Amino acid sequence: MGTTLMTGASRGLGREAAEHLLRHHPDRHLLVFNRRPGLAAELAAVTGNRNVSEVVCDLASFADIRRAAAEVEGPLDGFLGNAGLQMATTRKLTADGFEMTFGVNVLAYHLLLNLLMPRFTNPARIVVVGSDVHDADLNTLGLIPPPRWDHPRELVKPGEDSAKEGRRAYATSKLGVIYLVHALRRRLPEGVDVYSYNPGLVPDTELSRDAGRFGRAAFRAVGKVLVAMPFATTSAAAGRLLAETMAGPRPGESGSYINKGVVVASSSESYDERREEELWATADDLCGLA
């Protein structure tokens, strides 16, 4: 019986994906990392499948990630990294003093996957959720500014107290996710595949929960309009596709970018081995792995 470790299973498309895995792949043990206890019991109750357990973990703390990773028992044949933040500012910091968006969306996964690497079986599959907003040429209707890459040591520094820059940091972090996946592919043993996954525009998520009362209300109002558009999808549909990418047939060559279940090319900017290796080496140092 295989075990899949999942982050970001408490709400939105992540919750849908977790429930789908438990309902449609009942022989797969699901281990959820969550900031607060009780999620495993919730998932077991709503799906009727008790093949789920949890480890409490705050991805904004390297010490907590190390403790949680040490609590993982047995081999892993899957990892689904869905947890991610979009902050209303670039002033908030992780417990280790790094800008929160980049710290959680990129550095946390770098540390966690490196700590877990000895536990992955052959075969195994790693999926980290990215976003099409990593593409500077994407038309986001003005909602998300394009990414602005810099040396990772600059990206982890706090920036402006600006909602626009907070959203830009999110786009930039998702470009970092693809760089991380490409670099990881070159380091994984035979039989362990890694992918970045784009769920597309999912307006009915709670990604804007840090935006404050009025920001959240505005996002919900816009979301009700966007969810009816042909280029958008619901969290239920996106969650099902994400779950099947994790548990279904091999989606493609390791390192691929998967757009709503289909392997496609990511942005031209996202293929840059120099940046990928620079990010890997810097993240090693920042995470205490060097």
Joined tokens for residue 82: 């869905």
pLDDT tens-digit readout, 147-164: 999 999 999 999 988 999
Angle, in degrees to the nearest 10, between helices 39-47 and 12-24: 50
pLDDT at position 230 over 50:
no
CB atoms near residue 109 (< 10 Å): 26
Distance between CA 272 and CA 181 in Å, rounded? Answer: 12
Sequence letter at residue 111: L
Which helix (H) or strand (E) segment is 240 a member of? helix 235-247
pLDDT digits (tens, 9 = 90+) for 155-190: 999 998 899 999 999 999 999 999 999 999 999 999
Q: What angle, 0 to 180 degrees and rounded to 10, lies between the N-to-C axes of helices 273-286 and 108-116?
A: 80
Measured distance CA(17)–CA(13) in Å, rounded: 6
pLDDT at 60: 98
pTM, rounded to two decimals: 0.92
**pLDDT exceeds 50 at position 225:** no
The C-alpha torsion from 192 through 196 and 200 to 204, rounded to 10°, is 80
Calculate the average pLDDT of the chain. Answer: 92
In the CATH scheme, what is the homologous superfamily, with its name and number, of domain 3-199+233-286? NAD(P)-binding Rossmann-like Domain (3.40.50.720)
C-alpha 19/C-alpha 22 separation (Å) is 5
Six token digits for residue 55:
């480890």
Stated as kind and residue range, the H or E segment containing 259 is: strand 257-259
Q: What is the mean pLDDT of residues 119-145?
A: 94
In the numeric block, the tokens 């490196």 are attached to 114
Q: How confident is the model at residue 290 (pLDDT cuts 50, 70, 90)?
A: confident
